[in-house]
Amino acid sequence: MAVDLNKLKSNFEKIRARVGSGVEVIPILKGNAYGLGGVGLAKFYAGTLGSKMIGVAHVREAAELREAGISCELLVLGGAPFNNIPAAVAYSIQTTAFEREYVDLLDREAEKQGKIAEIQIKINTGLNRIGVKPGEELTNFVRYIKTKTHIKVRGAFTHFAASHIEDHSLTLGQFELFKQAIGEIKACGVELDYIHACNGCAAVWFSEAYGTAVRPGNLLFGYDNNEKPKNALGVEPAVTWRCFVTQLRTLQPGESIGYNRYFIAKEPIRVATISVGFGDGYYRPMLMGGGFALVNGKRCRFLATSMDQTWLEIDGVTNVALNNEVTLLGKDGDDELTVYDWRKFCGESIVFLSSIISNRVERVFLS
């Protein structure tokens, strides 16, 4: 799998230009950077592009980045299991706080390690996943945090439940609550370095909500899920994924391929066995749903699959040789397969299909 860093750079610059110089762009690299390769991309964003902060979902992901030498600020967006607290403190990772019990344990661990643990407060404005409700609940929580001697609040943020849909009313309502929450935190005498609400989709259209930072994931990688406006920034996908032909054969009528004779030839058919399977994170329903791959610029339908190997029909494709490239994603000749095609093959979301590409697949970063 190859990731075109020039495309990622231009996507990033388009986002930066949209939000303006006063707003930090925090790349969200959770889930192995949505499948593109977390460590490699963290080095790229923190190093080449100069990101001050990177966001991930789990403490383990942040710890992996620290171990790989990433020294910028790291924010864990999700809730941390209590046994992750020692690592979060040791690696100076900012975590997200929304419960008193967590704050207690974090404070105690920070004291033990002789450090100050940094947190950002998550405001629940309607997604009801994690977060503190604005109003009394929030004010009491902030006052409670202030009694802790080894904790510093760095920021506060919320997350929108449906910023990609054309009807923005839900998002606007969430933002009103968030503004209220920020006012309440400040009224408790807490300064906030980071105030942020926008994921990638909202970063495209919701400038009133930028605060000090935006948190794009998808958008960095060229996937804009906004229903309207459609890809207003013109971001471009950056991934090419290829595998190889490992054997060629002609099936005779009655011969089958796949476990349990998944496909039975009715007439002679040219078949290539290729070096990819669901163990690589190629989502199996894409094969059943009419998916195809490109061989020598031609669309070839899948016939059957297994964990490591898959069968393609190559009737009508000329000059297919052993070790021939097979394009699962990207350009081949005049044709191109994109994640939008993948979505059509199976109806699953782009984030899902991209983030499940497994670690077995090598990531190469082209610059």
Ligand X SMILES: *Cc1c(COP(=O)(O)O)cnc(C)c1O
Nearest approach in angstroms of CB 121 to ligand X is: 13
Number of helices (H), then strands (E), belonging to the chain: the values are: 12, 19
CA distances 352 to 146, 164, 223, 299, Å, are: 39, 16, 12, 24
Measure the CA–CA gap between 296 and 275, rounded to whole angstroms.
16
Taking 3-state DSSP, the helix, strand and coil percentages for the chain, each rounded to the nearest 5, stand at 35, 25, 40
Residue 241 CB, nearest distance to ligand X (Å)? Answer: 20
By beta-carbon proximity to ligand X, the closer residue of 25 and 70 is 25
What's the CA gap between 286 and 292, in Å, rounded?
8
Q: Nearest approach, Cβ of 199 to ligand X (angstroms)?
A: 4
Q: State the Cα–Cα distance between residues 273 and 271, nearest whole angstrom.
A: 7
- Name which of 124 and 218 has its Cβ closer to ligand X: 218
Separation between Cα atoms, residue 306 and residue 310, nearest integer Å: 6
Q: Dihedral sign, CA of 104, 58, 130, 95?
A: positive
The answer to whether the annotation marks 288 as part of a ligand binding site is no
Q: Give the CB-nearest residue to ligand X.
A: 217
Question: Shortest Cβ distance from residue 219 to ligand X (Å)?
Answer: 6
Smallest distance from ligand X to CB 52, Å = 16
Cβ-based nearer residue to ligand X, 64 or 111? 64
Q: Contact positions toward ligand X, by CB under 6 A?
A: 28, 30, 77, 159, 199-201, 215-219
Tell me how far, at minimum, the Cβ of 160 lies from ligand X, in Å: 9
Nearer to ligand X, 200 or 237 (CB): 200
User: CB within 8 A of 236, min separation 6: which ones?
Assistant: 7, 10, 11, 222
Question: Quick one: 42 or 110, whose CB is closer to ligand X?
Answer: 42
Q: In 3D, which of 263, 319, 272, 318 has the Cα closest to residue 293?
A: 272
Residue closer to ligand X by CB (options 213, 300) is: 213
Which parts are annotated binding residues for substrate?
A: 129, 307
